[in-house]
Amino acid sequence: MTILIPHQPHFGFEVEEKGNIETEKDLIYDEGFVMPHANSFGHNFRDYDAESERQEGVENFYRTNHINQTYDFVKRMREEYGKLDKVEMSIWECCELLNNVVDESDPDLDEPQIEHLLQTAEAIRKDYPDQDWLHLTGLIHDLGKVLLHPSFGELPQWAVVGDTFPVGCAFDESIVHHKHFKENPDYNNPTYNTRFGAYEEGCGLDKVLMSWGHDDYMYLVAKENKSSLPSAGLFIIRYHSFYALHRSGAYKHLMNEEDEENLKWLQTFNKYDLYSKSKVRINVEEVKPYYLSLIEKYFPAKLRW
């Protein structure tokens, strides 16, 4: 792996974190893995002691997320990260990067992260043996979490994980902890607070800005590196945390026909994403050649991140 720019961009937001939001947020909402943001992860984790405190942590996480994910913030992040000037590495190297960091820092996760990624992929492979693109999508859909790593700007948790939602139009009531949007500057901005906001009926989700996180980042990486994954694979990567859409059916007025088709695949995928925490052990070395062949098929050798 070549670390090109180990810098830490400043995006002008306040990092507001409390307790061990990192850990429990991900465990609850993002199927169980996380890279430590910051120095004091271990310390915080040992201090952790109550269910009520944990829920407070989750709510605090979403409060910070909902206040800071504005239309302008998302535009800035897409511009910054769309440059892909942080790191050069292959998909497999990225899996290992996530793996190593998690191993060092989270003693409560009892299996390497790469197994979690492979569990999703292998479960899909078993049921859809002919859809090799879907196997690879399972493997890579969470790789955007490297945004938490210092080489990628070490973004705070609220800008990397958690449910995602459109910005630039009204926040749907089905979004978790919706009430905290009242403190988002866009909430009272007439350009952005109507049903369609900055968009038009049936314009297609591709035209819609989503709150910034690991989904949209990995989508940008795949697209800009000219991956030949089919449109449904890119759609899954980009919207797998968009629960308001794939669980609650909100925002359909912004979708076009292609989105409707892709949504079916996303809903299929989501089942595997959720249940991949099963304790089925995967022999990494055994399946690695298969996934390396898929990476070679759908991605150039080295990717810019």
Cβ-proximal residues to 49 (8 Å cutoff; 6+ apart), any chain: none
User: Does residue 104 have a known ligand-binding role?
Assistant: yes
Is 273 an interacting residue with respect to Fe ion (CB under 5 A)?
A: yes
Q: Which of residues 121-150 bind Fe ion (CB under 5 A)?
A: 142
C-alpha–C-alpha distance, residues 250 and 247, integer Å: 8
Residue 177 annotated as part of some ligand binding site: no
Rg (CA), the chain: 18
C-beta closer to Fe ion: residue 31 or 96: 31
Residue 303's SS3 state is: strand
Helix (H) or strand (E) holding 89: strand 87-89
7-66 residues near Fe ion, rule: CB under 5 A: 31
Are residues 158 and 64 in contact, defined by beta-carbon separation less than 8 angstroms? yes
- Smallest distance, Fe ion to C-beta of residue 30, A: 5
The CB-of-83 to Fe ion minimum distance in angstroms stands at 23
Measured from the CB of residue 67, what is the shortest distance to Fe ion in angstroms?
Answer: 22
- Least Å distance, CB 187 to Fe ion, is 26
Based on CB atoms, which residue is closest to Fe ion, 160 or 199?
A: 160
Could you tell me which stretch among 45-53, 72-80, 179-187, 271-279 binds Fe ion (CB under 5 A)?
271-279
Residue 26 assigned ligand-binding role: no
- Residue 236 contacts residue 265 (beta carbons within 8 Å): yes
Whichever of 115 and 186 has its CB closer to Fe ion, that residue is: 115
| Cβ–Cβ under 8 Å, residues 111 and 30 | no
- What is the total count of residues that contact Fe ion (CB under 5 A)? 3
CB of 26 to Fe ion, least distance (A): 9
The H-assigned helical ranges of 159-226 are 214-224
Interatomic CA distance for residues 271 and 254, integer angstroms? 24
- Give CA separation, 158 vs 22, 64, 128, 235, in Å: 9, 7, 34, 22
For the bound state, the minimum distance from the C-beta of residue 293 to Fe ion, rounded and expressed in Å, comes to 22
Q: Which helix (H) or strand (E) holds 84?
A: none
Q: How many residues does the chain have?
A: 305
String of contacts with Fe ion for each residue 81-120, x by CB under 5 A: ----------------------------------------
Q: Establish if 163 lies at the interface with Fe ion (CB under 5 A).
A: no
CA distance 191 to 166: 14
Given the complex with Fe ion, which of 31 and 258 has the nearer CB atom? 31
Task: Say if residue 103 carries a ligand binding annotation.
Answer: yes
Determine if residue 145 is labeled as part of a ligand binding site: yes
Sequence-distant (≥ 6) Cβ neighbours of residue 264 within 8 angstroms: none
**Which of residues 25 and 199 has its CB atom nearest to Fe ion in the complex?**
25
Numbered residues of the known binding site for substrate = 46, 103-105, 145, 162-163, 240-241
Contact footprint for Fe ion (CB under 5 A): 31, 142, 273
